[in-house]
Amino acid sequence: MLSMFSAKAVSLTINDTLVVEQASVKQTVLASALAADIVFPHYCQVGSCGACRCQLVSGEVKQLTDSAYVLSAKAIAQGMILACQSVPKSAINIKVNLRQRQLADEPQE
């Protein structure tokens, strides 16, 4: 029987590779990726630079801040999120160019 106080955890998949089996739902996607030694692109970690943008392929996240001033409406419609401002609500699969250095609004290929 599960304890009613047990912490919920979900899996984090990046570019179709499972990288964290038990990611905390209290930690951002970026924090979980960095804790798993993933060299995830990031800079400010407060939702203002856009360096951590990635595409949510499946699953749900809770956005901690409004990303509309960093991501275009088109990018948001295509599922782009800010990893530093997104906390998983379910198992998620994201797509990110782990070698990206420049800011861009387009989904990663």
The span of 7-15, 47-55, 71-79, 97-105 binding ligand FES (CB under 6 A) equals: 47-55
Question: Which one, 5 or 69, has the nearer CB to ligand FES?
Answer: 69
* Piece in contact with ligand FES (CB under 6 A), picked from 11-19, 37-45, 58-66, 88-96: 37-45
- Within the chain, strands assigned E span 9-14, 17-24, 53-58, 61-63, 80-82, 86-88, 92-95
Task: Take residue 108 and report the two structure tokens written for it.
Answer: 């990663």
* Residue 27 sits in the site that holds ligand FES (CB under 6 A): no
User: Is residue 48 close enough to count as binding ligand FES by CB under 6 A?
Assistant: yes
- 50 is an interface residue for ligand FES by CB under 6 A: yes
Q: Tokens for 77?
A: 């419609």
- Cβ closer to ligand FES: 48 or 78? 48
Q: How far is the CB of 60 from ligand FES (least distance, A)?
A: 19
Query: Six-digit token pair at 102?
Result: 């420049």
> If 0-12 CB within 10 Å is exposed, 13-18 middle and 19+ buried, where does residue 109 land?
exposed
4 is written with which tokens?
């009613």
Q: What is the contact surface with ligand FES in residues (CB under 6 A)?
A: 42-45, 47-52, 82, 84
